Chain A
């Protein structure tokens, strides 16, 4: 135990330092490189001699870096919760169609509302608009999640559950496609841009709303850590240790839907973070204790998403590649590594 504690402790310090370093780097790098001294001055005092740099940092890079942190924490913690809840190493928001569910919620807002409800119009709506889109996306996630949970009760096989998840994701995407087919070109372009994923679209009060929802979701997840630990031994054991499994499941679902829904609403579907980060964190810390894992997963998620964001900037160039592409390029190999390293998927979720 002592060894484990020390290992976790030094890992926390390492990840924390790495996160801070990458945060600074993320703000420094981009189409224009800003020296560290200037970045430090702008963040601490909010002043700079260079007005352009001040604007870039305050209005673009700082919100984007904060969004990256929020997305990293939210997606990886919901992935962690889902892997424990479904007892499945390959569970994750995008793998089981939860992100697609959120996408359906977003599509409902963007495509159904006619031209008046484009993303632009929603940003004009201000706070109530961001609540609307978060609410719809979370509801979409929750709908898919409850459907999967219902099916998971009947299916014990991990691989089959995964196939069912992929199918439900496909159905959801098909519904969105029908919607797209009957939509205006401008709306379509907007929606398709959204599906590429972007951390840069969240500014001003949207950022406050998003932060509030994500923090609430994370606190809820942390509060469930004892129940999540009990669930590691399976539902029967959890019940025998006094856990009200139904209520716990609802709480975990609520938190997962909030986290996945809100991030997906604003940043688009970001793949592979949710499935890969929990595995990376577990092997870094060598523990399955959620009280340690949840904060650690947040840190690892932060590190990875900041890294992905830096790569997506293609520092020094004028172009930016979609964040979804970068996370998939980094995340998919991790998933393959998980499958290869552990031949028996059934015993690999923790």
Chain B
């Protein structure tokens, strides 16, 4: 397999904090590569060191040891102005400059290319227009930053990073503070951008399911300071996700790619069958109630769920009884008394 040149590579990188001779290592022995055109999601629980890694890769904080190689050159050997043409950042820093318009913020992205007074050339203008279009923020241009919603502001900051015209973009939790539609929109945007512009995009996020759907590669950071890189599907199948996010009270379900918050407290006594959609949602509701789903058809209770024009319909068979229900709520109401909590 041909391995194209990585735009970002780390060799035995150790990250952490150093203050007055005292070193605190957050993660060590990090060897990862980031290819052009790839969207990589950095995942890990809070405190695993995602932000530290992002800051170190972005040149905002020194590495403890090891090397970061950007576009073939060690990070330390690049002058700030050179680095600014290779790597752009979208940070979680609050923007205090509320009086700036969205356009002014995007224009600032051209800083590494403009002369000492910051006058814009023909090329600058076209890059700015292109970034505005790619991020889809043309309706926002004349609005001030403090008038924008969190999602809009995040897109403006992305447009600014695009205007910086770098082969590598790092985004620290770009989906934090966004509502679900905006999170999906942002991930979709980044995914398309990576494909269309051949930029390498690395982002840290807590959005597991979105990351699993959009990432070309996932970097999993463990609390013990190690990092696993791989295709999201491989990491799910080999159990890495489960170990990374293992906690009491919930678990990562390999079969559905989601977190199971409510572990069945009961032994599996219900068998579910029928159409895919109704079965999926009925299962969620039953598990929330602490009712285990059995794999065997001869379980004490059998539910046969079906799609209807109204959405949902199910038949419950318990011992020699049979009920019909027409909503999940009704289903739960009928099932609940059959299996009293112990």
Q: A225 contacts B117, CB within 8 Å?
A: yes
Q: A236 contacts B60, CB within 8 Å?
A: yes
Contact with A along B87-115 (1 / 0, CB 8 A): 11101011111111101110011011010
Q: Contact check: which of A241, A244, A346, A350 meets B111 at CB < 8 Å? A: A241
Q: Taking beta carbons and an 8 Å cutoff, which residues of A are in contact with B?
A: 1, 3-4, 87, 223, 225-226, 229-230, 232-234, 236-237, 239-244, 282, 286-289, 291, 346-350
What chain A residues lie within 8 Å of B103 (beta carbons)?
1
CB distance from A289 to the nearest CB of B (A): 6
Q: Taking beta carbons and an 8 Å cutoff, which residues of B are in contact with A?
A: 58-60, 80-85, 87-89, 91, 93-101, 103-105, 108-109, 111-112, 114, 116-118, 141-142, 146, 164
What chain A residues lie within 8 Å of B94 (beta carbons)?
234, 347
What chain A residues lie within 8 Å of B117 (beta carbons)?
225-226, 291
What chain A residues lie within 8 Å of B91 (beta carbons)?
234, 236-237, 240
Q: B96 contacts A347, CB within 8 Å?
A: yes
Q: Contact check: which of A3, A288, A349 meets B142 at CB < 8 Å? A: A3
Q: Contact check: which of A233, A240, A286 meets B95 at CB < 8 Å? A: A233
Nearest chain B residue, comparing its CB with the CB of A84: B97
Report the Cα distance A4→B95, complex, angstroms. Answer: 21
What chain A residues lie within 8 Å of B95 (beta carbons)?
233-234
Known: A223-B116, A226-B116, A232-B108. A240 touches B97 (CB 8 A): no
What chain A residues lie within 8 Å of B98 (beta carbons)?
347-348, 350
What chain A residues lie within 8 Å of B60 (beta carbons)?
236, 239-240
What chain A residues lie within 8 Å of B81 (beta carbons)?
242
What chain A residues lie within 8 Å of B84 (beta carbons)?
240-242
What chain B residues lie within 8 Å of A1 (beta carbons)?
103, 141-142
Q: A242 contacts B83, CB within 8 Å?
A: yes
Q: Which 3 A-B pairs have the closest CB atoms?
A: A242-B84, A226-B118, A242-B81
Nearest chain B residue, comparing its CB with the CB of A158: B96
Q: A239 contacts B105, CB within 8 Å?
A: no
Q: A234 contacts B93, CB within 8 Å?
A: yes
Report the Cα distance A223→B89, complex, angstroms. Answer: 26
Q: A239 contacts B99, CB within 8 Å?
A: no
A sample of 28 inter-chain contacts (CB < 8 A) reads A1-B141, A1-B142, A226-B117, A229-B108, A232-B100, A233-B93, A236-B89, A237-B89, A237-B93, A239-B80, A240-B60, A240-B84, A240-B87, A240-B88, A241-B88, A241-B111, A242-B80, A242-B82, A242-B83, A242-B85, A242-B112, A287-B99, A287-B104, A291-B118, A346-B96, A347-B94, A347-B96, A348-B98
Nearest chain A residue, comparing its CB with the CB of B166: A240
Most B CB contacts (10 A, CB to CB) among A87, A236, A282 go to A236
Nearest chain B residue, comparing its CB with the CB of A349: B96
Nearest chain B residue, comparing its CB with the CB of A2: B142
Nearest chain B residue, comparing its CB with the CB of A241: B111
Known: A242-B80, A282-B99. A233 touches B104 (CB 8 A): no
Q: B59 contacts A240, CB within 8 Å?
A: yes
Report the Cα distance A323→B98, complex, angstroms. Answer: 34
Nearest chain A residue, comparing its CB with the CB of B112: A242
Q: Contact check: which of A234, A237, A282, A289 meets B104 at CB < 8 Å? A: A289
Nearest chain A residue, comparing its CB with the CB of B55: A236
What chain B residues lie within 8 Å of A289 (beta carbons)?
104
Report the Cα distance A223→B117, complex, angstroms. Answer: 7
Nearest chain B residue, comparing its CB with the CB of A240: B89
What chain B residues lie within 8 Å of A242 (beta carbons)?
80-85, 111-112
Known: A233-B105, A242-B111. A288 touches B97 (CB 8 A): yes
Nearest chain B residue, comparing its CB with the CB of A226: B118
Q: A234 contacts B96, CB within 8 Å?
A: yes
Q: Contact check: which of B58, B99, B109 meets A350 at CB < 8 Å? A: B99
Report the Cα distance A288→B99, complex, angstroms. Answer: 6
Q: Contact check: which of A226, A230, A240, A282 meets B58 at CB < 8 Å? A: A240
What chain A residues lie within 8 Å of B87 (beta carbons)?
240
Nearest chain B residue, comparing its CB with the CB of A222: B117
What chain A residues lie within 8 Å of B93 (beta carbons)?
233-234, 236-237
Nearest chain A residue, comparing its CB with the CB of B118: A226
What chain A residues lie within 8 Å of B105 (beta carbons)?
233
CB distance from B139 to the nearest CB of A (A): 15
Report the Cα distance A240→B114, complex, angstroms. Answer: 15
Report the Cα distance A152→B246, complex, angstroms. Answer: 41
Q: Contact check: which of B80, B97, B104, B146 meets A243 at CB < 8 Å? A: B80
Q: B100 contacts A241, CB within 8 Å?
A: no
Report the Cα distance A350→B142, complex, angstroms. Answer: 16
Q: A232 contacts B97, CB within 8 Å?
A: yes
